[in-house]
Amino acid sequence: MREDRQRLDKWLWFARFAKTRTLAAKLVTSGFVRVNGQRIDNAAKALAVGDVVTLALARTTLVVKVEALGLRRGPAPEARQLYADLTEGEGTLVSGDNKS
């Protein structure tokens, strides 16, 4: 794989969206992950900086933009630098609309 790309399951594991790489692969193959709006069923899908990843998790849906490719599965603060959470702004708008 090219240096500017990384396997989707590996990135999800490095970014701490899954406890193990096997669970990250199962998330992808089960259809719970989209990249740039397209459903992905191949854990080896090449991911690049700038891609938008949507994760349908048990109690929430997360939308994140890939900011960096991981080199290792490090501590949470290090993992947090791999992505920008795009759902933060949307949640504020929704809760503000419900109050009126």
CA nearest to 43, candidates 73, 14, 63, 23: 23
Q: Could you read off the pLDDT of 60-85 as tens digits, one per residue?
A: 999 999 999 999 999 999 999 999 99
**pLDDT-derived band at 88, boundaries 50, 70, 90:** low
Q: How many domains does the chain have?
A: 1
The CATH number covering residue 77 comes to 3.10.290.10
**pLDDT-derived band at 40, boundaries 50, 70, 90:** very high
CA distance 91 to 42: 29
What pTM, to 2 d.p., does this model score?
Answer: 0.83
